[in-house]
Each structure stands twice: as C-alpha cells, then as structure tokens.
Amino acid sequence: MMNRATIQNDDGTEEDVLYFRDNHGYLTDKETALKYIEKLRRFYEYQDVEKWIEDSNREQKLENFPIDFNDIYLNKQFKEKVYYYKPFRANLKRDWSFKCDWCGTKVSSKTDKGYFLINSHTRIDHELDGYRACSENCVKLLWKEKFNEYMKNKF
Ligand SMILES: [Zn+2]
C-alpha cells in the first residue's frame, strides 16, 4: 500500500513523496522498499506495459459494469430489472400524455393505465435516463438499443 507524505528539502522547499506501508500498518524498511521500487521500475519500463495496462483496465471495467451480461435487463448491483412499470395516478387533475420513445405510440392517462420507464438508478449513464415506453416490449427494445450504443462507444 502506498501512502503520501510531505518532506522538507535542504533549500527549505516542501515536496510530496510516497512510501510503502504493509497490510498490518507497518512502514516498509528501506532495503525492502528499494527492492519494490526496482521491481516497479522494471514493470513500468517493460516494453508492452501500456498495452498490458489498457487490456487489464478494459477487463476490469467490464467486471465492474453494473449490468449482468447474461441478462442485460438485470442490474446486478441492485438485483432488479433495468426498467419498471409505473401506473398513472388515479387522481390526476389533468390528463397527461407522451409518445413512446421506441414506437411513437401515444400513451395517455385518459386511455392507458400506466407505462414503462428505464429505472433511474439502473441507468448506465446519464444518456440512458428518462426514457419512457408504451409497453414492456418497447422498453426492452429501447434499453437494448441504448445499451448496445453505449457499449459501442465506451468499450
Ligand atoms: Zn411503444
């Protein structure tokens, strides 16, 4: 584990530095620390290191991704679907309507009981927030398209 410290140079200027601390909280002795530094240097000077870092971080990003890749409608973080059904309130003062973001069908509180929304905390980015659909099928297709678009741009 790396920690930060500030040291004072001979000319009085201050400098931010790093030191090692082991898993039990003990500071690493000088000899061991210099060996680590040499090994770090060897790693970061390795010819393929940039590709290695890039590949590894891409894999990690997928692993940390909140969506279950076996079921793209499932958010593994919250263990729930990426969309949900929202009934219109019964006591609406005014009728309210919108067009389905997938098929364009008009959904109205006058004629419909409710609609489907992409779950706001399952959004994978702000660009996927706030979409509404007329049916479960439409919300799934909408999500799938946005999800694929997102994956193409981000990975
Ligand atoms: Zn629709």
Q: Rounded to the nearest whole angstrom, what is the distance from the C-alpha of residue 133 to the centroid of ligand 1? A: 5
pLDDT above 90 for 137: yes
* Per-residue pLDDT, 129: 66
Q: Ligand 1 center to residue 100 CA distance, Å?
A: 5
> CB-side exposure of 125: number of CA atoms within 13 Å?
9
- Estimate to the nearest angstrom the gap between the alpha carbon of 105 and the chain centroid: 31
pLDDT the model gives residue 42: 96
Ordered DSSP codes for 72-108: TTEETTTTEESEEEEEPPTT-SS--EEE-TTT--EEE
Q: Do 123 and 80 fall within a single domain?
A: yes
Q: Residue 82 Cα, ligand 1 centroid: separation in angstroms?
A: 17
139 with 99, same domain? yes
Q: Is residue 40 part of a domain?
A: yes
How far does residue 144's CA lie from ligand 1's centre (Å)? Answer: 14
Instruction: Report d(CA 18, CA 121) in Å as an integer.
Output: 37
Give the range of the structural domain holding residue 37, as residue numbers without chain letter.
2-63
- Same domain flag for 85 and 118: yes
Q: pLDDT digit string (tens) for 37-89?
A: 999 999 999 999 999 999 999 888 888 888 888 888 988 888 889 899 999 98
| Judgement on whether residues 150 and 89 belong to the same structural domain of the protein | yes
Residue 102 counted as domain residue: yes
Predicted local distance difference test score (pLDDT) of residue 62:
81
DSSP code for 27: B
Say if residue 46 is in the same domain as residue 115: no
pTM exceeds 0.85 for this model = no
pLDDT computed for residue 67 by the predictor: 84
What average pLDDT does the segment 102-120 reach? 93
